[in-house]
């Protein structure tokens, strides 16, 4: 959990330092697949997928899940 939060925090910091706002997600892309981390309110949603997954669909799924979780939390 701490590593997931750190990934999002570092991604947000780097994105802001590049003069950008509104980071959607952090994507780690490796030989074996993907790790996608996205904030959901005060929580972080992390998806791990193999390299055969379509990245666009994975990003959409994580976005919808994060929005749903954020809306359910108090």
What CA–CA distance (Å, rounded) separates 39 from 41?
Answer: 6
Instruction: Tokens for 49, please give them.
Output: 């997928």
The three-class DSSP label of residue 5 is: helix
- pLDDT tens per residue, range 6-16: 999 999 999 99
pLDDT at 30: 98
> Residue 54: which residues within 8 A CB-CB, separation 6 or more?
none
In this predicted structure, what is the pLDDT of residue 62?
A: 98
2-72: which CATH number, 3.30.450.30, 3.30.565.10, 3.10.20.600, 1.10.10.10?
A: 3.30.450.30
DSSP annotation of 53:
S
- Tens digits of residue pLDDT in 14-45: 999 999 999 999 999 999 999 999 999 999 99
């Amino acid at each position: 959990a701490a590593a997931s939060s750190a990934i999002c925090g570092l991604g947000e910091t780097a994105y802001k330092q590049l003069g950008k706002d509104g980071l959607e997600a952090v994507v780690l892309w490796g030989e074996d697949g993907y790790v996608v981390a996205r904030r959901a309110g005060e929580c972080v949603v992390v998806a791990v997928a193999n390299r055969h997954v379509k990245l666009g669909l994975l990003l959409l799924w994580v976005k919808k899940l994060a929005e749903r979780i954020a809306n359910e939390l108090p």
